[in-house]
Amino acid sequence: MQYNGAYKNYIFFMKNHEEEEQIVIITLMDLPTPIRVSISNFLDQASLMESTLVLKQWHNECNGPGIENKIIPVIEVSGSSTQTFLQNLVQHQQNNETNRKLIRYPHMRVNNIHKFDFIPLRELERIVNNLQIIDGVMSLDMSILSFAKICSSLPYALSQII
């Protein structure tokens, strides 16, 4: 199985006692669990999260004992319509099941915030007044190109609910 190159075969060329060359193919899952756990401790957050998508066993190991880098759930937001995003957020908060899922994410990342549009302050405040504070989110990351101009209302709205 291969997922984004995260799960690869490792090929070793070995010689047996008769000096004949043999090819041995070892996958990550062929390694003993303590070695896989040790390897996962060298992964950064993004690589650790990606590696858990490969196999259920690897996911369980990455959430188990011995892992020093815990996986931090992240809500990633992309788009261009501030109003649509905020209205969807209101709907998610009104649904008990999706709201429970929302509050377990301690980190929110807004990608390309400069692509979100501007909405008038009165309309923005009307929508924000329908939103509850998102208790679970402890940090907010808003990416932007260094030369981009922000004309988005989203930073203001998020500052009111996080």
Alpha carbons 111 and 159: distance in angstroms, whole number: 16
Tens digits of residue pLDDT in 13-52 = 555 666 666 666 777 777 787 887 787 788 777 777 777 7
Q: What pLDDT score does 3 carry?
A: 37
The tokens for 40 are 């996962």
pLDDT(10) > 70: no
Answering whether pTM is above 0.85, one says no
- Amino acid sitting at position 63: N
Domain residue spans of the chain:
9-62, 74-161
Q: How far apart are CA 36 and CA 55, in angstroms?
A: 13
Q: Which residue has the higher pLDDT, 97 or 58?
A: 97
- Say if strands 74-77 and 21-27 run parallel, antiparallel, or are unpaired: unpaired
Chain segment 64-109, per-residue pLDDT in tens: 777 777 777 888 888 889 999 999 999 988 999 988 888 888 888 8
128 to 88, 102, 123: CA distances (angstroms):
12, 17, 9
Q: Is the pLDDT of residue 114 over 50?
A: yes
pLDDT at residue 5 above 50? no
Q: How confident is the model at residue 145 (pLDDT cuts 50, 70, 90)?
A: low
Give the pLDDT band of residue 7 (cuts 50, 70, 90): very low
